[in-house]
Chain A
């Protein structure tokens, strides 16, 4: 019981939870991006990758439920910390400038909530195909098999200007969240000291810039009609 309390109810314990769930979701996001960048290898490459992802029912649902749980824990713990943090300063400063605190760290909760709504729409729209069935129900031939034409689903689905702009905005929110978050993981888990601090900063910020560029590129090429 005390162990549960030490991890799930203490201030420091909940930082580990934020860091571990954040790290797991970040790992997913990077793999997701690398997978999606195969769109530049052409229709067959992306469609084949999609078949691979759906090939094992147990793995697919294991990963979906696992990631869903991780996201839920991240959000619930984030909100509990946020409520306590607000309560810890009941009277605000008249000159309320939060000195030396960067924009990214001030935006963690707002940006996180924006990402949450985006992800819900992203899943309902493209994974479940509830909002635009005509886009999602396209098929193509891969060798002699008929498969979902993910290549054209993406180009049409994300290439729609309104959808594309939503992807760009969500990418900004995610990049900002990780601008603070990726570096933060090391601090929260106690894996940072004066010797490593600069390396951690450079590597994590570079990773976020790569993610940002990659995630902006796909909606842009779809919207501008560069990929057809």
Chain B
């Protein structure tokens, strides 16, 4: 059994979307290195509730790194110091006894803070609604190998499909750009045969919606791929840029 830790937390507290927030300091005592980051916050919250105070509000759902709900910036890094992991899968063994940990919500104009660490990320949903789908005639499920897909294309599509829509890429980017997210969605469908009929329309619609939401513009810093818990590669952004050029060249913007 490794030793328990005592930590100082500085957490962004904000009553609601209309209020101003500020950093508040809390002590997290007897934190086990085996706890996840969110379990550590659960313990702090139980303590706050017992004292009759408002617990720290944060988003979480699956707590196994697959849903994309958890979202907090730990010491300036979205999802914390461990690369390729969501904050729900970040364990306290990555911290030392006596550490001070700053915890903040995602920061971007399209992600307004609703309360404490919870932001409204429906801007990402609207981008998906704009074009992140394929249209299929319903009916019986087609035979498994009716559509041949090369191993290379299916592997690459899977790498893009790994995106869980958490928004950490936006939170990390100095420009609050959503390009990694959009490129993952566009790349995932654009690599597969089912995605071809709507390929040009999809790129055009999704980029237009992304711009409308007020995200910043990509300047190729690649901070996004470094914080992405699913390690989506920024080479999908190059692919997106290429697809957009093709879509515009084919006159998609006038359709």
Contact = CB atoms under 8 A, between A and B. Distances in A.
Interface in B234-255: 234-235, 237-245, 248, 251, 253-254
Contact of A99 (B76, B175, B248): B76
A102 B223 CA distance: 9
A12 B243 CA distance: 10
What are the nearest 8 A-B pairs in CB distance? A190-B242, A88-B216, A100-B226, A95-B76, A97-B76, A85-B175, A190-B241, A88-B176
5 contacts: A14-B217, A16-B241, A88-B215, A190-B242, A193-B238
A69 to B, nearest CB: 22
Contacts of A91: 107, 113
Contacts of B177: 11, 85, 88
Interface string B97-115: 0000010100111100100
B210 to A, nearest CB: 7
Contact of B104 (A12, A94, A99, A183): A94
Interface of A: 2-3, 5-7, 10-16, 81, 84-85, 87-102, 105-106, 108, 180, 183-184, 186-194, 197
A11 B207 contact: yes
Interface in B54-78: 73, 75-78
Contacts of A14: 217
Interface of B: 10, 12, 23, 73, 75-78, 102, 104, 107-110, 113, 172, 174-177, 179, 204, 207-208, 210-211, 214-223, 226-227, 233-235, 237-245, 248, 251, 253-254
Contacts of B211: 10-11
Contacts of B253: 2-3, 5-6
B223 A101 contact: yes
Nearest to B176: A88
B239 A6 contact: no
Contacts of A3: 248, 251, 253-254
A99 B217 contact: no
A180 to B, nearest CB: 8
Nearest to A108: B219
B218 A11 contact: yes
